[in-house]
Structure 1
Amino acid sequence: MNSLHRTIVCVGVVLASTIAGHAGAQTWQDLGPSPINTSGGYAGRVSAIGVSATNPALYYIGGADGGIWKTTDAGTTWAALTDHMPTTAIGAIAVDPTNDQIVYVGTGEANYANHSRYGLGIYKTTDGGATWTQFAEETFGGRTFSKMVIDPANTNTIYAAVASAGGFPALAAAKGHPDATGPVGVFKSVDAGETWTLLAGGLPAVEASDIAIDRDNPTTVYAAIGNIYGDPGNGIYKTTDSGQTWTKLGGGLPTTNVGRISLDVSPSSPQTLYALYTRQASSTGNGASNIGGFRSDDGGATWYARGGVSQSSYGWFLSCVSVNPANPEQVFYGGLTMRRFTGSSGSTVTPPHVDMHAFAWDASGRLLSGNDGGVHLSSNEGSSW
């Protein structure tokens, strides 16, 4: 052994001994958000998807605690965009339909599990994710986002469905945040996300679980109020005056034992709506099975049953709906599995992983599914992925 080799070995032994000694003396303190989950991974669960209205290869996805990721080649490669931001818990993504470099992100995942982390307001980028600005932590801190939609006629106007942090017992996922019990419901911004107003005018101050806009007539907005434990205010509400006044819809929709609700409006036939209803959960999270899917052909005035999907007893965690933008007769329900209905004919079309949380359609008409296993893409309406 030459002298240089002997020197390197000696230095290595000394360093190893020093590190081992320090490791034995040092202790780590959990700084939160606590308690830290050590029972399994969940950060990569895809809770939100945003797509470009014109570029079929540009997607943004959000992880339950994995931040925002971007692809410019339809999912072949991805880049992390928000690792440096204060929270990586993502609940909603909205891409400006006139400029896909402008993206709004609602932080805090509204899927109600103990590991669905609370949020710290809204992130916005105007350069495709190269830089971000944080807004409205004082308005939304400690809570979560179910969905955000942008008015296509005036993209400074944004609606957000906001919910409490989840968990069992209630608010466990808020981890003691001081604003955990702050206002929830439907919020509106008219200044591109900088400031927000909680809408009333017939809307209850209850968790909003989904929101959808009529793209042909964007003064019409539908909101799903869906407290997972059940609330007298739970149901679907409609405004035709940009959120000033709201009417609760009935005409065949369930009225008892209602928990989380998801909905969507057909882009090509906006009088056609679909909704997925879940039973209310017990205080320990049991019993939240699927009530069924429902369809309206007259803008929500009347409804009839249209299929459904298995949610086991976890409908508070597994619920999403999406209408094929080119075919108002075709709807996808996401739960434990995925069901596709074309007219009255239904089939199971689950992608390579179960537990559905989000849907989106890219600019070429391909379907994206966000689930516990990541994000999956289908170019044939779910027949293969």
Structure 2
Amino acid sequence: MLFLAFAAGAGLVMLPAHAAANKKVLSPLRHLKLRNLGPAIAGGRVTSVRGIPGQPLVYYVGSAAGGVWKTTNGGYSWKNVFAHGDSASIGAITLAPSNPNLVWVGTGESNPRDDMINGGGVYYSPDAGATWVFKGLRNAGQISRIVVDPANPNIVFVCALDNVWKPTPTRGVYRTSNGGKSWQRVLFLNDETGCSTLAMQPGNPQVMIAGMWQVRRYPWKLVSGGPSSGLYRSVDGGLTWTKLTQGLPKAPTGRSDVAFAPSRPDRVYAVIQAKGGVLWASNDMGTHWHLVSNNQNADVRPFYFTQVAVSPKNPEQIFLLSMKLMESKNGGKTMFYADKMAHVDHHAIWIDPHNGNRIIQGNDGGVYITHDDGKTWRYLDNLPIEEFYQVAVNDHVTPFLVCGGIQDNNAWCGPSSDYSRAGVNGLDWYIPVGGDGEYVVPAPTDPNVIYASSENGYTVRYNARTTLAPFILPYYHSQAGHLVSKL
């Protein structure tokens, strides 16, 4: 979320929400009072969600660039409980199974877009998010998962993907037995292969499966997959690991995710980026696997999604996070859309182990909750976690007009203030163009004209009087048949 403030002699100031805690950044602007303009109903990319078993009003939400938020009233209001540290980008949130007040946060989103933010290590809260302690691994880059031993909360595992823009020696799986005072790396393959997922067998913390992902991003491309990628299993509490191969796809493979079935702990599901398949299953803790489905809808963009979750009571009911939220009632043999018109691009899910009907899931549009096993979803539209690509203003009008393009949540325009006592609210904002809102520029000579663009060069001239938004050429409605050199 961006904030704008105006002070005599200072002009327009735009600051990220998490900068409020950075005194060094704010020192020249310390007399400015920041206020949230919105848009209040836009939403933003969610990377991790967690709830507390049996407590339907408490949730934690991690965002791609806005820290960790907590609600204690079922989502009607939120508090930013992690607005400090070296990174506001969140990769993982985990609550200790033995004590939900013990909260672990891994920074650095692990869905490696070309605009992702590096993390700054691992943090721990002993009091349900009220205070935080830095627990190391500052150079671990992107953290995909954190797993806490259900019996001993001092034993913690961190799954580190690390910085995918360059080879790094800090990738892999880390283990602590003293609550983060020291860490031991227990699984490392090479400086281009990090950890994409980590799962512990329910009822047996000695058995764990890690997904290792060989990945490298360049400014012009993403190389996902290689001979080092694959699933690795430990049967001694994470001390040693063996690569699993029987029934699994041959190299090269890419990103993967695994999930045990709580009601049948020997059953494991794996979503793997590979040729000839999407979903595999094992009935013996991962020793032998068989292909279940090649439904590409379950993993449309593997580097961005790739996640599977299992119902706590039914080992045949699984959820697969992709562009749409997919669900299966027969172990993945057939699937259907389960998100009921929710926003696309799903990244996070948590199912109450005591009540499988209660699910919270996060995507590029924000957070959704169901209490009836996905029959209906409630959108929590009050989280200020939007990611603005760009902000522009028209200061020739009073109040001046503010416009901005938001990642996967349209372009928005609204006034800097309102004449009502309530101030600026969601009704004051409007959308000149949908999709990934990018450059949005008010015309300097006419406050009712907005030039707005979204992904792939889609550009419109929006008229606020008529709400018409005709295309502005040149724009290729289809790239088919055009030479690359001409695009």
What is the TM-score with the length of structure 2 in the denominator?
0.64
Letter in 1 for 2:347: H
Q: CA deviation at 1:375?
A: 1.3
Q: Does 1:326 align with 2:321?
A: no
Deviation at 1:255, TM superposition (A): 1.6
Unaligned runs of 5+ in 2: 1-5, 16-23, 26-41, 216-223, 378-487
Counterparts of 2:145 and 2:100, CA distance in 1: 18
1:275 and 1:243 map into 2 onto residues whose CA distance is 19
Identify the match of residue 149 of structure 2 among 145, 148, 151. Answer: 151
Change in Cα spacing, 1:291 to 1:115, as seen in structure 2 (3 Å) is farther
Q: In the alignment, which residue of structure 2 is the partner of 1:340?
A: 327
Alignment partner, residue 117 of structure 1: 117
Which residue is 1:269 aligned to?
A: 264
Structure 2 SS opposite 1:100: strand
Kept in 2, the 8 Å contact 1:56–1:364? The answer is no
Task: State the match for 1:364 in structure 2.
Answer: 355
What's the CA shift for 1:355? 0.4
After superposition, what is the alpha-carbon deviation per residue over 1:103-157, rounded to whole angstroms, capped at 9, x for unaligned?
0000011100122211111111111111111120xx3326111111111121111
The question of whether the paired residues in 2 share the 8 Å contact of 1:117 and 1:165 is answered with: no
CA distance in 1, matches of 2:269, 2:140: 30
1:55-79 per-residue CA deviation (whole Å, 9 max, x = no partner) reads 2322111001110111122323221
Partner secondary structure for residue 142 of structure 2 = strand
1:379 positional shift: 2.3
User: 1:198 — aligned with what?
Assistant: 185
| Correspondence for 2:239 among 244, 269, 272 | 244
Q: Is the 8 A contact 2:109 2:118 kept in 1?
A: yes
Q: Which of the numbers 326, 337, 343 marks the counterpart of 1:353?
A: 343
Larger strand percent: 2
Give the Cα–Cα distance (whole angstroms) in 2 for the partners of residues 145 and 342 of structure 1: 31
Over residues 154-199 of structure 1, what are the superposed CA-to-partner deviations in whole Å (9 max), with x where a residue is unaligned?
1111111101234xxx35xxxxxxxx72410111111112321111
The question of whether the paired residues in 1 share the 8 Å contact of 2:98 and 2:151 is answered with no
Distance 1:300 1:145 in 2: 24
Q: Map Cα deviations across residues 177-222 of structure 1 (whole Å, 9 max, x no partner).
A: xxx724101111111123211114xx52421100000121111111
Partner of 1:304: 290
1:370–1:142 Cα change, 3 Å: same
Using the TM superposition, give the Cα deviation of residue 364 of structure 1 relative to its aligned residue in structure 2, in angstroms. Answer: 3.0
Q: Distance in 2 between matches of 1:193 and 1:159?
A: 10
Contact 1:235 1:255 in 2 (8 A): no
Distance verdict in 2 for CA 1:375–1:194, change over 3 Å: farther
**Which whole-Å CA distance do the structure 1 matches of 2:228 and 2:252 have between them?**
12
Q: Report the 3-state secondary structure (helix = DSSP H, G, I; strand = E; otherwise coil) of the residue aligned with 2:286.
A: coil
| Whole-angstrom distance in 1 between the partners of 2:73 and 2:283 | 37
Secondary structure of the residue aligned to 1:375 is: strand
Equivalent residue for 1:383, pick from 364, 375, 382: 375
Percent identity of equivalent pairs = 32
Bigger shift: residues 74-83 or 257-266: 74-83
2:281 is the alignment partner of 1:295: yes
Amino acid at match of 1:345: T
CA contact (8 A) 1:264 1:274 kept: yes
How far the C-alpha of 1:313 sits from its partner, in A, is: 5.8
8 Å CA contact retained: 2:229, 2:251:
no
Amino acid at match of 2:239: Q
1:361 and 1:192 mapped to 2: Cα distance?
26
d(CA) in 2 for partners of 1:102 and 1:141?
A: 23
**Contact 1:43 1:63 (C-alpha < 8 Å) held by counterparts:** no
The residue aligned with 1:127 is 127
TM-score with structure 1 setting the length? 0.80
State the number of aligned residues: 334
Q: Is the 8 A contact 1:185 1:207 kept in 2?
A: yes
Q: Is the 8 A contact 2:298 2:320 kept in 1?
A: no
